[in-house]
């Protein structure tokens, strides 16, 4: 399973990929695992953990790089920073994660506000796209298709981020149709490069 930090790509704040890449560079996933999860978990960047055949180097999180993140924000026209709201549920672990993310965003010049709602409301906001950023958990499945397809395929049921990329869709479809593990791994790697 995973704890996902999803950015609504239909939101003006996250329409530019450079902003999303900057946020990726601000997140210290190892610190989140060590503090919020008491060391129980593995820092990850995608839905493919190390023990999954689809895992490769692109799934391993980069070390946080505040200066590079600020450069990307400046290139995206947000050199003075910006503000957004993260929606999360009232689970104490998620509250700790949200507070840690808030501090990490602050270090990059981003003002992240936290909105706490009950879990049912959180899911409804996610499904409807009524949020800027959201934290959602997924219990996980053995096959990588079941951990990624519904989250990233255009219009899929759990695609809360409203992400849409025809290259990613094609890779996901081909991986879903193949029984060759090496071919599937290559397709998931290809998907990660977009």
Helices and strands (H, E) in the chain, number of each type: 8, 4
Question: How many CA atoms lie less than 13 Å away from 7 in the CB half-sphere?
Answer: 18
CA distance 179 to 154: 23
| pLDDT the model gives residue 141 | 86
User: What radius of gyration do the chain's Cα atoms show?
Assistant: 16
| pLDDT the model gives residue 42 | 87
Q: What is the pLDDT of residues 63-82, one digit of tens each?
A: 999 999 999 999 999 988 89
Q: Is 104 helix (H, G, I), strand (E, B) or coil?
A: helix
Q: At what angle do helices 166-177 and 181-192 cross, to 10 degrees?
A: 170
The tokens for 87 are: 């929606």
Asked if pLDDT for residue 192 goes beyond 80, the answer is no
Q: What is the residue whose two structure tokens read 């450079």?
A: 18
pLDDT tier, 112 (very low <50, low <70, confident <90, very high otherwise): very high
Nearest CA to 85 out of 36, 124, 126, 134 is that of: 134
In contact, 39 and 31? CB cutoff 8 Å? no
Nearest CA to 21 out of 88, 68, 53 is that of: 68
Q: Residue 184 class from Cβ within 10 Å (0-12 exposed, 13-18 middle, 19+ buried)?
A: buried
The β-bridge relationship of strands 2-7 and 133-138 is: antiparallel
Average pLDDT, stretch 143-161?
A: 90
The β-bridge relationship of strands 82-88 and 133-138 is: parallel
Q: What predicted TM-score, i.e. pTM, was given to this entire model? A: 0.84
């Amino acid at each position: 399973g995973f704890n996902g930090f999803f950015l609504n790509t239909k939101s003006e704040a996250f329409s530019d990929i450079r902003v999303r890449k900057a946020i990726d560079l601000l997140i210290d996933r190892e610190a989140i695992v060590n503090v919020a999860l008491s060391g129980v978990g593995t820092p990850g960047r995608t839905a493919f953990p190390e023990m999954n055949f689809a895992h490769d180097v692109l799934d391993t999180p980069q070390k946080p790089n505040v200066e590079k993140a600020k450069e990307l924000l400046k290139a995206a026209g947000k050199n003075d920073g910006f503000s957004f709201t993260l929606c999360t549920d009232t689970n104490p672990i998620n509250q700790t994660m949200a507070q840690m993310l808030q501090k990490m965003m602050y270090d990059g010049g981003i003002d992240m506000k936290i909105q706490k709602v009950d879990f049912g409301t959180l899911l409804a906001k996610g499904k409807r796209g009524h949020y800027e950023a959201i934290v959602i958990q997924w219990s996980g499945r053995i096959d990588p298709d079941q951990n990624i397809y519904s989250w990233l395929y255009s219009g899929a049921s759990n695609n809360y981020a409203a992400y849409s990329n025809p290259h990613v869709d094609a890779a996901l479809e081909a991986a879903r149709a193949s029984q060759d593990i090496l071919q599937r791994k290559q397709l998931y790697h290809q998907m990660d490069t977009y």
